[in-house]
Amino acid sequence: MAEAFRQAGDQDETQLFIELVYHGLGRTKAGTTWKELMDADLSYFRGPLAQALREEGRDEGREEGLDEGRAKDVLLILRHRGVHVPEDAAARVTACRDQQTFDVWMRRALEVSTVEALFD
């Protein structure tokens, strides 16, 4: 459908259908797939939905980058202090997406002697 919309020519009409599909699919798995397809093709589309999706993608990228940086910081502090960090613990830290949890872990990383104590 994304390719058909690209070839349709009339951007105003196409934008209407893109938005209808987006809102109709909602937060379903198909909606996620549609959003991913549209993210890849958004440079062609100029409507408000395309702009919103581009901005949403940038915001998500910033948040993911922040989370990754905080996880790396926690792990760096632990390892620098000589705390052994097994792969499963590192994966748990890396998978975290909660800023409050990172705040707690950051403070604990400065004091704990085991990685288990980080999670207590």
Q: What is the pTM of this model?
A: 0.49
Pair (40, 87) in one structural domain: no
Query: How many of the other CB atoms lie within 10 Å of CB of 24?
Result: 11
What integer pLDDT is reported at residue 15 of this predicted model?
67
Spatial separation of the C-alpha atoms in residues 99 and 110, rounded to whole Å: 17
Spatial separation of the C-alpha atoms in residues 67 and 65, rounded to whole Å: 5
Residue 52, domain member (yes or no): no
**Torsion angle defined by CA atoms of residues 49, 50, 55 and 61, in that order, rounded to the nearest 10 degrees:** 120
The count of structural domains within the chain is 2
Would you call 74 helix, strand, or coil by DSSP? helix
Pair (72, 36) in one structural domain: no
Residue 17, domain member (yes or no): yes
What integer pLDDT is reported at residue 102 of this predicted model?
86
Spatial separation of the C-alpha atoms in residues 86 and 94, rounded to whole Å: 12
Q: How does the average pLDDT of the chain come out, rounded?
A: 78
Structural domain harbouring 105: 63-119
Pair (68, 36) in one structural domain: no
